[in-house]
Amino acid sequence: MVKILVATKNKGKLKEIQEILGDLPIKLMPLPESASDVEENGSTYLENALIKAKTYGQKYKLITLADDSGLEIDALNGLPGIYSSRYLGKDTPFEEKMKNILELMKNKDNRKARFRCISVLYFPNEDKFVSFEGVVEGEILKEICYGNSGFGYDPIFKPDGFDKSFSELGTEIKNKISHRSKALAQVRDYIENNLLGGEMIEIKINGKRLPANKYVYSVFEKVIYAILSTLKDLPEIETVEIKIEKKEEK
Ligand SMILES: O=P(O)(O)OP(=O)(O)OP(=O)(O)OC[C@H]1O[C@@H](n2cnc3c(O)ncnc32)[C@H](O)[C@@H]1O
Ligand SMILES: [Mg+2]
């Protein structure tokens, strides 16, 4: 089974990634508790996501998924943006960070904001990566609205089209519309098409189905054809069919 290391130290992020990609036939591996911190000193989300993905991917020698994300507030010229984690200090409680933001936003009419997420999938053997972006537009609320879920700045962010904070809306709704879920939808497509084999090959022998995906098929192609050509010549085998199906678009 394909193993993917989820390179985040943020438990809220990890939980969302597990919820969003959990149904894929892959094994998502969290970082060991002992994994050391990395300094996210890049100047873009992509650079920071790559620092995390490469550091842990090379260390643990696994395909690695990392994301760098942030809350961009128009009235604050895009801040905290890529500094979202470090804003007022990395270990400062989020309540304090949010109170500070609400104070700075006190007299601002323009409350437009967005969460942005850049997800990176890194392949240590080839030293290659793919990256995907997701954005959710919304507004900064006038007060902190805690709900039962979410993390970070969720209690002060209201996505467009809803009248509650991300924390109050709950995980199910957040995971359908969030920046992270939009980036991860593309990660999912990439995994399905490139690591799992997007096309299914179906082999029927005497009408009985023997399914295998394109990856299995590509590895065993020659063997399968050799077996099939042998089977074909056996008197008890009536038909041997090979059908390649395109997976339906979601
Ligand atoms: O780097 P890792 O270990 O993944 O965890 P982190 O919390 O440091 O994550 P980032 O470097 O991506 O920093 C993003 C900051 O923005 C916050 N953030 C990211 N996604 C969020 C979300 O979906 N809801 C609320 N806050 C979020 C998060 O709490 C961080 O403070
Ligand atoms: Mg971080």
Taking a C-beta distance cutoff of 8 angstroms, is the pair 62, 29 a contact?
yes
Q: Which atom of ligand 1 is nearest to the CA of 174?
A: 23
CA gyration radius, the chain: 23
Dihedral sign for Cα 123, 127, 128, 133, please.
positive
CATH for the 3-195 domain, from 3.90.1150.10, 3.30.1490.190, 3.90.950.10, 1.10.357.10? 3.90.950.10
Query: How many CB atoms within 10 Å of residue 168?
Result: 20
pLDDT tens sequence for the chain (250 residues)? 889 999 999 999 999 999 999 988 889 999 999 999 999 999 999 999 999 999 999 999 999 999 999 999 999 999 999 999 999 999 999 999 999 999 999 999 999 999 999 999 999 999 999 999 999 999 999 999 999 999 999 999 999 999 999 999 999 999 999 999 999 999 998 998 888 865 555 666 677 765 556 556 566 666 777 777 777 777 787 777 766 655 554 4
Taking a C-beta distance cutoff of 8 angstroms, is the pair 5, 32 a contact?
no
Quote the pLDDT of residue 250: 46
Tell the residue nearest (CA) to atom 10 of ligand 1: 68
Task: Give dist(CA 39, CA 46) in Å, integer.
Answer: 14
Quote the pLDDT of residue 197: 67
Ligand 1 touching residue 42 (CB < 6 A): no
Quote the pLDDT of residue 249: 46
Quote the pLDDT of residue 21: 92
Tell the residue nearest (CA) to atom 5 of ligand 1: 10
pLDDT tens for each residue of 200-243: 556 666 777 655 565 565 666 667 777 777 777 777 877 777 66
Quote the pLDDT of residue 212: 59
Of 17, 25, 27, nearest to 62 by C-alpha is 27
- Domain assignments of the chain as residue spans, ordered by start: 3-195, 200-245
Residue of 18, 85, 135, 145 to mutate, ligand 1, most atoms within 8 A of C-beta: 85
Catalytic residue list: 68
Residue of 153, 166, 169 to mutate, ligand 1, most atoms within 8 A of C-beta: 153
- On the CB side of 241, how many CA atoms lie within 13 Å of its CA? 10
Q: Return the amino acid letter for 48.
A: N
Cα dist from 198 to 45, 192, 203, 249, whole Å: 29, 5, 16, 10
